Amino acid sequence: MTSARRRTGLPARARIMAWLLLLLTVALLSVVLVTRNLLLADLDAEITAELRQEDQEFRTFAEIGVDPTTGQPFADAGDLLGTHLSRQRPGDDEVQVGVFADGTSPQAQGLPRNQEAMTPPVLAEILAAPADTGEVQTARGPVRWSRTLIDRNAAVVDGYFVVGEFLTPQRADIDEAVRTLTVVSAVGLLLAGVASWIVSGQILAPLRLVRRTAEEITEDDLTRRIPVTGSDDLSVLADRFNAMLDRLSRAFATQREFVDDAGHELRTPITIVRGHLELMGDDPAERAETVRLCTDELDRMSRIVEDLLVLAKAERPDFVQPAPVELAELTSDIDAKVRALGDRRWVLEACADGEVLLDAQRITQAVLQLAQNAVQHTRPGATIALGSARRPGPGGGTVAVWVADTGPGVPPEDAATIFERFSRGASGGAGGHRTGAGLGLAIVRAIAEAHGGRVVLDPGPGVGARFTVEVPDRPAA
């Protein structure tokens, strides 16, 4: 059910575009709202400043109290208001009104439509307001007004000078600008959506390639790889994916080798066991001989399986587990163990000192395998030497552990293939009899390479062979 939900969900490309458009929509909507509020605030400040300016001009004119045309003082408030209004040129959205204290005989200046909106009920509401500024509703919409008192005798209110600004036309300009900004933002949002679809497609192209490659990969074909260009995160992902494919390829190859090797090498002992069991008669001596032969073949099968399992484990990262090891103690332990492998003259040539990081059990396994090979290729009483040494070199040097015998040596034609699986070489064991499954030296090489080292062969036909396991010299912390 979960896999089905994942398959039916929005693809990553669509989700990226949706989130980007959502963020841009929120950002542009915030810009539009903030811009509108700022424009309205600027409009309010501008209207307030204009109303104050008109009030101040009237106050100054009233304080002078002289008609500029005749040079005589004004006879009454009506004369003052009429003269002042006749000298004004209000804007398209402005109206100026002069009225007596009782609300009669109003005089107005401004466009006719603005004058008509200042009806007696509107003026009555303005005159009755407790404050000198405010806002009132008219037939043409709201009006921001300012009222100035005329009290020439300081005891009797003669009249009022009222200035009004119609807000609807000016706010309409702001609404038009906001609509224009909204349309531009919508177009920009559409372009951003197209661009995000294209860009996200380019960014996610490596991921789609990874997906297609993963779909095309089977256990029979692990050769597909993703081309890596650049050094960004997706390039690193593609590189890691290729590395994963390399590991899978090695794992499948190891599995196939194990199956092929097991089938190749176990077929013979199984055939031998089956043939002997089918031909086994009733004679007790014959039965005992058949059981002995079958037991030998089963033991050989067991050794082959164990060796194949070791080689299969060699591909795992935990095949070797390095730990601090004292070289002198390790060499002495190996020397004590090899002496039980056969009646030979065992010689400890050198014993290195110091503590290094390596897997003591695996190194012991490799050296014992080399010693067992030396026993098989020499006769009783022959000399077999072993030893260890720390050799300086670039990058910290190496730790070398070797086994040298005095057998027939390794022919040059066998030196290149002797470490391959099931390779026994042209020469057999002592007396010319080939023994083992040909996996011992392959195991030795696997152990050395797992340590980051190698196995070195110094072949010498007729004068013996020296096998040396060299691993990096990593001093213990």
Res. 290 pLDDT band, cuts 50 70 90: confident
> Maximum CA pair distance of the chain?
162
Who contacts 297 (Cβ-Cβ below 8 Å, separation ≥6)?
269, 272, 273
Are 160 and 247 part of one and the same domain? Answer: no
Least confident of 210-224, 278-292, 363-377: 210-224
Are 432 and 287 part of one and the same domain? Answer: no
Q: Which residue has the higher pLDDT, 310 or 360?
A: 360
Q: How many domains does the chain have?
A: 3
- Report the length, in residues, of the chain: 477
pLDDT at 460: 60
Which residues lie across from 221 on neighbouring strands? 218
CA atoms within 13 A on the CB side of 342: 21
Res. 348 pLDDT band, cuts 50 70 90: very high
Residue 131 domain-assigned (yes or no): yes
CA-nearest of 167, 150, 146 to 62 is 150
Q: What is the CATH number of the domain that holds 306?
A: 1.10.287.130
Q: What is the CATH number of the domain that holds 361?
A: 3.30.565.10
Last residue of a domain, one of 256, 288, 313: 313
Are 89 and 110 part of one and the same domain? Answer: yes
Which residues lie across from 386 on neighbouring strands? 348, 403
Residue type, 62: A
Are 146 and 95 part of one and the same domain? Answer: yes
Are 340 and 436 part of one and the same domain? Answer: yes
The per-residue pLDDT for range 213-233, each reduced to its tens digit, is 777 766 666 677 767 776 777
pLDDT at 433: 40
CA-nearest of 473, 327, 349, 345 to 402 is 349
Task: Over range 307-331, report the average pLDDT.
Answer: 82
Can you tell me the distance from the alpha carbon of 97 to that of 161, in angstroms, rounded to the nearest whole number? 6
Are 327 and 255 part of one and the same domain? Answer: no
pLDDT at 421: 67
Who contacts 10 (Cβ-Cβ below 8 Å, separation ≥6)?
18
**pLDDT > 60? residue 315:** yes
Residue 186 domain-assigned (yes or no): no
The per-residue pLDDT for range 250-266, each reduced to its tens digit, is 777 766 766 666 665 66
Are 278 and 417 part of one and the same domain? Answer: no
Last residue of a domain, one of 148, 175, 202: 175
Are 306 and 331 part of one and the same domain? Answer: no
Residue 7 domain-assigned (yes or no): no
CA-nearest of 385, 394, 342 to 367 is 385
pLDDT at 6: 47
Res. 240 pLDDT band, cuts 50 70 90: confident
pLDDT at 186: 92
**pLDDT > 80? residue 461:** no
Residue type, 244: M
3-state SS of the chain: helix, strand, coil percent to 5? 55, 15, 30
Residue 195 domain-assigned (yes or no): no
pLDDT at 407: 86
Are 78 and 26 part of one and the same domain? Answer: yes
pLDDT at 3: 46
Q: How many CB atoms lie within 10 A of CB 372?
A: 17
Residue type, 99: V
Residue 8 domain-assigned (yes or no): no
Which residues lie across from 110 on neighbouring strands? 95
CA atoms within 13 A on the CB side of 259: 5
Angle in degrees, CA 367, 435, 302, rounded to 5: 80
State residue 107 phi and psi, 5-degree precision.
-120, 140
pLDDT at 2: 45
pLDDT at 462: 60
| 452 phi-psi bin (left φ>0, alpha ψ -120 to 50, beta other) | left
Residue type, 312: A
Are 170 and 302 part of one and the same domain? Answer: no
Q: What is the CATH number of the domain that holds 130?
A: 3.30.450
- As a whole number, the mean pLDDT across the chain is 82
- How far out from the chain centre does Cα 465 lie? 53
pTM: 0.49
Can you tell me the distance from the alpha carbon of 267 to that of 151, in angstroms, rounded to the nearest whole number? 128
Residue 164 domain-assigned (yes or no): yes
pLDDT at 403: 94
The per-residue pLDDT for range 87-128, each reduced to its tens digit, is 888 988 999 998 887 767 688 889 999 889 999 899 989 988
pLDDT at 310: 74
Are 29 and 165 part of one and the same domain? Answer: yes
Q: Which residues span the domain enclosing 263?
A: 233-313
- Asked if 329 contacts 363 with a C-beta cutoff of 8 angstroms, the reply is no
Residue type, 129: A
Residue 193 domain-assigned (yes or no): no
The per-residue pLDDT for range 374-427, each reduced to its tens digit, is 998 899 989 999 999 999 887 778 999 999 998 888 887 777 778 776 665 555
Are 308 and 330 part of one and the same domain? Answer: no
Q: What is the percent of the chain where pLDDT is above 70?
A: 84
Can you tell me the distance from the alpha carbon of 65 to that of 150, in angstroms, rounded to the nearest whole number? 11
* Residue 195, token pair as written in the block: 């661009």
Residue 279 domain-assigned (yes or no): yes
Last residue of a domain, one of 295, 313, 331: 313
Packed helices 284-313 and 233-279: angle between N→C axes, nearest 10 degrees: 180
Res. 292 pLDDT band, cuts 50 70 90: confident
The per-residue pLDDT for range 14-67, each reduced to its tens digit, is 888 888 889 999 999 999 999 999 999 999 999 999 999 999 998 888 888 888
